[in-house]
Amino acid sequence: MGFGTAGRNRGGDDKAAHRGNPARFLEREVQAACAATRQDAGGPAIPDESLVHNYVVEAGLSSRLPKGIRIWDETLRDGEQTPGVTFSPEEKLEIARLLDEIGIPIIDVGIPVVSKEEARAVKTLANAGLDATVLAASRIVRRDIDACIDCGVDEIALFIASSDLHLRYKLRMSRDQVLDAAVRETEYASAHGLRVSFVTEDTFRSDLGFVARLYRACIDAGAIRAVVCDTVGVMTPSAVSWFVGQLRPRLGAVELSFHGHNDFGLAVANTLAACEAGVLVPHATVNGLGERAGNASLEELVMALDTLYGYETGIEPSRLYELSRLVERLSGVPVGVSKPIVGYNAFSHESGIHADGIVKHAATYEPIQPERIGRTRQFIFGKHTGTAAVEEKLRGHEIQATKSQVERLVHLIKDFAESKSKDEQQTFVEQYRYREERRRGVSDEEFWVLARKAGIPVAEGSR
């Protein structure tokens, strides 16, 4: 199992062509949309000229990205820590194989000390012959590290909290005690042949001087990568840029990695800002799974780098939707209807104004073509439908209709949509809420049953 993506180019010749001139890439999206529009809807040819500006490139922001960015996938570790989610070893292997096939270079597959099944999963993936680097996570605890060594992984992510809040109330350790333990266990893991990524929890709420001292000590002890974490998602892109800019010079030439949570909906934006500031290894999870509000979404990060920055990630976009659906099915967590890239509405149009624009030129209301990620667009017929979508549907079925017939059909669709009862939708919402409560691990009733089975004296009426 190799480290990184050296020698791999899974992006194809078209991707290779745009690396030399990223300013042209968003324009190519427009031209591709133009071609699709001409083919599918019979629209007029539009000259191959720049019809849109991409100020990410034009303002020079894309040039800030370092060469050699490699995405570290956390779906099988942090993603599985989504409340109520568990993956069997076989399910982890199925997800890992697809991650590997699309070109993900680093995969964190779990924390083997958690359970026997988790250890079996980690060992299975470590021996699955993946091209990706297979990594396992561990606390700064000797038995955790030994469990990773026994599984035969390529790398280990050693983590410990660094903020004074965590040190005082969670770890009950001093800064010196944390530093000593971190150095000792980094040396131990390195001595046993593991490449060490040293991770601080709650980095961005920690004292910057202490964080730098802690990382430097662990780098001296053998760590090859420093992972900074916005553990509770409190940073903004400008704050991430500032923090990374302050930290990088203090750590020397070590590789930087960023792990961001989505508590304020900023995980992907913060991750991009971290990359602009020089981070080489951003973390992400499929569908944005993870603790609380989740992590940076893999598919959003990949497509933002690919399309907005014109950056070659080495990851195949055409299978991102397939990957999303697989993780949705195995995790049991439905993808949000309005989620970017893979949400059910991401390429759906109802508004008459939008549908008219899409029929004439797809790029008017779609920043990327759905086919690029293995999807198709949909026209939804309802209250806001206009004649363009109706005409397009009829044309697709080779049905002729007069202007007055189309207008009559539009009115009938609007009237029908507005007259429909919402009972079915509201029932679905209630069922979904009930299901979510039941899905989240062990129910309250099941908890007390298991407590009695464990020999704990629980009264029969306990609920």
* pLDDT beyond 90 at 75: yes
Mean pLDDT of 1-20: 39
For the chain, percent of residues with pLDDT exceeding 70: 88
Q: In this predicted structure, what is the pLDDT of residue 5?
A: 34
265 and 123 within one domain: yes
290 and 272 within one domain: yes
Q: What is the pTM of this model?
A: 0.86
Residue ending a domain, choose from 316, 331, 346: 331
66 and 49 within one domain: no
- Give me the CATH number covering residue 302: 3.20.20.70
214 and 160 within one domain: yes
In angstroms, the Cα distances linking 179 to 64, 140, 217, 408 are 33, 10, 8, 74
- Tell me, yes or no, whether 354 lies in a domain: no
* pLDDT beyond 90 at 2: no
99 and 26 within one domain: no
Beta strands per DSSP E along 36-187: 72-73, 106-108, 133-139, 155-161
Say which range, 127-131, 170-174, 437-441, has the weakest mean pLDDT: 437-441
Q: Which of 195, 146, 287 is nearest to 4 (CA)?
A: 195
154 and 121 within one domain: yes
pLDDT band of residue 9 (cuts 50, 70, 90) is: very low
Q: In this predicted structure, what is the pLDDT of residue 7?
A: 34
Q: In this predicted structure, what is the pLDDT of residue 136?
A: 98
323 and 286 within one domain: yes
Q: Which of 371, 363, 286 is nearest to 323 (CA)?
A: 286
Q: Do 393 and 377 contact (CB within 8 A), yes or no?
A: no
- Name the residue type at position 89: P
Range 290-321 burial, b when 16+ CB lie within 10 A, else e? bbeebbbbbbbbbbbbbbbbbbbbbbbbebbb
* pLDDT beyond 70 at 12: no
Looking at the structure of the chain, the number of domains it has is 3
pLDDT tens per residue, range 92-141: 999 999 999 999 999 999 999 999 999 999 999 999 999 999 999 999 99
99 and 245 within one domain: yes
The more confidently predicted of residues 158 and 443 is: 158
- Tell me, yes or no, whether 371 lies in a domain: no
Mean pLDDT of 238-248: 98
pLDDT band of residue 463 (cuts 50, 70, 90) is: low
- Tell me, yes or no, whether 210 lies in a domain: yes
Q: In this predicted structure, what is the pLDDT of residue 11?
A: 39
Say which range, 93-102, 206-215, 416-425, has the weakest mean pLDDT: 416-425
Compute the distance between CA of residue 452 and CA of residue 457 in angstroms, rounded to an integer.
6
Say which range, 115-124, 136-145, 307-316, 437-446, has the weakest mean pLDDT: 437-446
Q: In this predicted structure, what is the pLDDT of residue 443?
A: 80
- Tell me, yes or no, whether 389 lies in a domain: no
Domain that holds residue 429: 423-453
For the chain, percent of residues with pLDDT exceeding 90: 75
- Tell me, yes or no, whether 373 lies in a domain: no
280 and 165 within one domain: yes
pLDDT tens per residue, range 248-298: 999 999 999 999 999 999 999 999 999 999 999 999 999 999 999 999 999
Q: In this predicted structure, what is the pLDDT of residue 25?
A: 55
- Tell me, yes or no, whether 340 lies in a domain: no
* pLDDT beyond 80 at 26: no
- Tell me, yes or no, whether 133 lies in a domain: yes
Q: Which residues does 265 contact at the CB level (< 8 Å), separation at least 6?
A: 293
pLDDT tens per residue, range 368-396: 999 999 999 998 899 999 999 899 999 99
- Tell me, yes or no, whether 370 lies in a domain: no
92 and 228 within one domain: yes
115 and 99 within one domain: yes
Q: In this predicted structure, what is the pLDDT of residue 431?
A: 86
pLDDT tens per residue, range 337-358: 999 999 999 999 988 888 888 8
86 and 42 within one domain: no
- Name the residue type at position 222: G
